[in-house]
Amino acid sequence: MANRIYSVEEIELQGWKKPIKIHPLTIKKLRKVFEALDFERDEIKEKPFIDVLLDAVAVAMETFEPELSDSEVLADHVDQLSLEHILEVAAGIKLNDPKLEMSMRANGMTT
């Protein structure tokens, strides 16, 4: 019997009809999430931080729950803590990480 080296977690989103299983994304999908978080791109620099996070989670939802891959639809079912948790599980991004906060401040970014 093979051992799975990643964990699958079931989450509930506000007002969503069923639980959603989330897990670490494959490298192919992870690249798309990182593109959505690329703060060097002008169109991303102009967006509010919360919208950038929402877009990144919407990319992850292409894998987990395609109906929520539209950030407008997703916005009706998530709060900030949910966004952060999904990014942590799916992409290994810890938004409350002091190293990330220092890096963002050093690069002139704020949340």
- Between 80 and 95, the higher pLDDT residue: 80
Query: Quick one: pLDDT at residue 100?
Result: 59
Task: Give percent of the chain with pLDDT exceeding 70.
Answer: 86
46-52, Cβ contacts within 8 angstroms, sequence gap of 24 or more: 49/109, 49/110, 49/111, 50/80, 50/83
CA distances, 33 to each of 52, 62, 64, 85 (Å): 10, 10, 13, 14
Mean pLDDT for all residues in the chain:
90
Q: How far is 63 from 61, CA to CA, in rounded Å?
A: 5
Using 50, 70 and 90 to split pLDDT, how confident is the model at 103? low
Span 36-46, pLDDT tens digits: 999 888 888 89
